Structure 1
Amino acid sequence: MERYVDVAPGVRLWAEDIPSTGPQPAEPLLLVMGAGSSGVAWPDALIELLAEHHRVIRYDHRDTGRSSAMFEEEPYGITDLASDAVAVLDAFEVPRAHVVGMSMGGLLVQLMLLDHPERLASATLFCTGALAMQGAPELPEPDTALLRLWGELDDPRDAEGELRWRVEHWRLLNGSGTPFDPAEFRALEERVVEHAGRTEAVVAHARMDTSGLDRGAELATVTVPTLVIEAPEDPAYPPPHSGHLARTLGQARLVRIPGMGHAINHTVVSPLAAAILTQTTQTATPAA
């Protein structure tokens, strides 16, 4: 079921509620994507595996997909995007869910853990880093080639040029630990473009206010069962970002998916789903 969720005056988010295919589904599972990415960037194969155990909800962030594109008129901050995730749960009348966050989505889930712990049955974070904190160890920056490409984000490109740029972006994000299939990610981006109805690059999330992320010291108080998945070939959050995040959370589990980078290609779908489901089924409560 697809619907629109009103999260603020004049701001609507596209969301999709995917029913479980299993006989005894546990509590719902909410997927929170990274910066500039719509909900349809979650691979269908991954959703099918998760839906064997959970009702799955995914959605488009502001300025992505079919959600309101309004940053130029109404600027917002990253904390607003965290509130949006809670609003999506409210709209679907989900009191508590397992929540999975990738990249920026992982930062949003950390904010949810701090501000709305009662809404999370469990949390899974991957391809992300810890919220900032004073005294944190110095961690590696993103790969220089990736930083150069990010500098081209809002360069003018025609539709075909934009698709080529996005595929190259995924090639760098994928890393060298698993095979990269350009056709797989071109098909993904063609689906993203068809869903959104436009080819322009999403630049709003690169420009939004990121204040409110300096709360890493509070993560030690988190009691919600949390899993951190390390992607050892991630060029955006390279090791030891995941280890630092797990230690900062205090009680988090850390698992490693060999070869994984900052992309969900077909070779990592099964181990990623298995890791998420191990976390959610360990804390499973039947759906109401």
Structure 2
Amino acid sequence: MSVRTTRFVETAPGVRLWTETRGPADGTPLLLVMGAQASGLGWPEGLVERLAAHHRVIRYDHRDTGRSSWTFDQDPYRVTDLAEDVVAVLDGLGVERAHLVGMSLGGMLTQLVLADHPDRVLSATVFGTTALSTADLVHPDGTRTPVDRLPGIDPRLLEEWARPVEDLGEEAELDRRVRHWELLHGDGLPFDAEYFRALEREIIEHTGSYLPGTAHGRADHSGMLRTEALAANRVPTLVVSAPADPVFPPPHPQFLAQAIGGARLAEVPGLGHSLPPEVHGPLAEVVLSHTTAR
């Protein structure tokens, strides 16, 4: 029997995170870890429902997103604290071990949990991210590319991120978010502006405010490298290649698959740094082929 529940869990003093669980009550837990400044609703319904047909799926709002505690301005934290929140969510929900699926910053948080708390992870899937490693990318011909020579972020995104965000009202904020999604989407699939506008309206309603958060960009990003621990990884790990990703374009996925011990690589054609309906089925298929093989 499929059930859907929401509850808050305390992950640190004064910090409560909103969580949602759905799927079979006796299903194997699968925790979705979203990217920077993204609510758990960034995991779209179409994808969550597909995964919940096989797992007890958990999504949650990071600190300073959605309905969780917005505390950064009063009590600044490190990005590594967001990784500890992943474990604290499992603790708060009474989950000993779970499959983790992380996108973007969520993929980095997943790597931190893999390195620091491997006993809590049944399997890991990461995409739209890069390895927390100083190792070189080794090409098939044996040549090497240092990590600092891997392709960078699309200049159009850097230009967008450099613009000051002004409060011009909710509709203007929706316009800004849709413009941002179009850049993140990449060139692999047609962009449906109305789909992403509706998604952001839902997130704004869920949050109770249209004002954007900036805490994750201002948080301390130091202490995140885990080169040796990732190389020694023994947790089954899948890297999903997003060929149209403008943030971490190929060969970042290949770098990830090499840096994480035992990782394997699969591709979702057309996938960029967003989750439009066209990728829900293919992405769920590759994730489930990984998690249900355990």
* TM range, smaller chain: over 0.9
* 1:23-70 deviation digits (Å, cap 9, x = unpaired): xx6421000000010001111011110011000011000000000111
Query: Which whole-Å CA distance do the structure 2 matches of 1:265 and 1:217 have between them?
Result: 35
Residue 168 (structure 2) pairs with residue 157 (structure 1): yes
Query: Who is 1:238 aligned against?
Result: 249
Post-superposition offset of 1:179: 1.2
Contact 1:154/1:203 (<8 A) preserved:
no
Query: Which whole-Å CA distance do the structure 2 matches of 1:14 and 1:105 have between them?
Result: 16
Give the root-mean-square deviation of aligned CA atoms: 1.3
Post-superposition offset of 1:213: 1.2
**TM-score, structure 1 length as denominator?**
0.94
Query: Who is 2:68 aligned against?
Result: 67
Q: Secondary structure at the match of 1:268?
A: helix
Consecutive unaligned residues of structure 1, counting only runs of 5 or more, are: 284-288
Percent identity, please: 52
Query: Who is 1:204 aligned against?
Result: 215
Query: Which whole-Å CA distance do the structure 2 matches of 1:269 and 1:153 have between them?
Result: 32
Equivalent position to 2:262, from 242, 251, 263:
251
Mean Cα displacement is larger for which, 12-21 or 261-270? 12-21
Residue 40 (structure 2) pairs with residue 55 (structure 1): no
Q: Secondary structure at the match of 2:278?
A: coil
Q: Secondary structure at the match of 1:267?
A: helix
Equivalent position to 2:288, from 260, 277, 286:
277
Count of matched residue positions in the alignment of Structure 1 and Structure 2: 280
Equivalent position to 2:240, from 229, 234, 253:
229
The letter for the 2-side match of 1:271 is: P
Query: Who is 1:3 aligned against?
Result: 7
Query: Who is 2:142 aligned against?
Result: none
Query: Who is 1:19 aligned against?
Result: 23
Query: Who is 1:100 aligned against?
Result: 101
The letter for the 1-side match of 2:90 is: L
Post-superposition offset of 1:83: 0.4
The letter for the 1-side match of 2:60 is: Y
Residue 168 (structure 2) pairs with residue 167 (structure 1): no
The letter for the 1-side match of 2:19 is: A
Contact 1:235/1:262 (<8 A) preserved:
yes
Contact 1:153/1:201 (<8 A) preserved:
no
Query: Which whole-Å CA distance do the structure 2 matches of 1:111 and 1:163 have between them?
Result: 32
Query: Which whole-Å CA distance do the structure 1 matches of 2:64 and 2:211 have between them?
Result: 11
Query: Which whole-Å CA distance do the structure 1 matches of 2:236 and 2:164 have between them?
Result: 36
Query: Which whole-Å CA distance do the structure 2 matches of 1:157 and 1:131 have between them?
Result: 37
Post-superposition offset of 1:153: 5.6
Residue 227 (structure 2) pairs with residue 216 (structure 1): yes
Query: Who is 1:43 aligned against?
Result: 44
Post-superposition offset of 1:19: 2.6
Contact 1:102/1:125 (<8 A) preserved:
yes
Equivalent position to 2:273, from 255, 262, 265:
262
**TM-score, structure 2 length as denominator?**
0.93
Contact 2:23/2:53 (<8 A) preserved:
no
The letter for the 2-side match of 1:203 is: T
